[in-house]
Amino acid sequence: MRDSQIANNSGPGRTDAKNYDDKSKAWGEMPEKERAKAMMRRVSEMPASQRKMIEDYYKKVASESAK
């Protein structure tokens, strides 16, 4: 389908029932250094174009919070 066309597809909007763990609780309980390491691991797995943008964002946030 061309990008300039509107899709007419429709579906029930259901997903497979999965057991999603609530990782946010564990994230909030992690020590700051461990969270930083985990975030950097996630960033390193991203495509290079996105990685640069995210690294720049975190550097900016860190420099602003240091002020």
How many structural domains compose the chain? Answer: 1
Q: Is residue 11 part of a domain?
A: no
* Residue with tokens 């950097």, as numbered in its chain: 40
Q: Is residue 38 part of a domain?
A: yes
Sign of CA dihedral 50, 19, 24, 15: positive
Q: Is residue 60 part of a domain?
A: yes
Q: Is residue 8 part of a domain?
A: no
- Residues 36-58: tens digit of each pLDDT: 888 888 878 888 888 888 888 88
Q: Is residue 59 part of a domain?
A: yes
Q: Is residue 21 part of a domain?
A: no
Q: What percent of the chain has pLDDT over 70?
A: 81
Work out the pLDDT band at 18, boundaries 50, 70, 90: low
Q: Could you list the residue range(s) of the whole structural domain that residue 58 is in?
A: 26-66
Indicate the average pLDDT of the chain: 78
Work out the pLDDT band at 2, boundaries 50, 70, 90: low
CA distances (Å), origin 67, targets 39, 54, 56 = 22, 20, 17
d(CA 30, CA 37): 11
Query: For residue 22, what pLDDT is reported?
Result: 65
Q: Is residue 7 part of a domain?
A: no
Buried b (16+ CB within 10 A) or exposed e, 1-13: eeeeeeeeeeeee
Mean pLDDT score, 12-41: 76
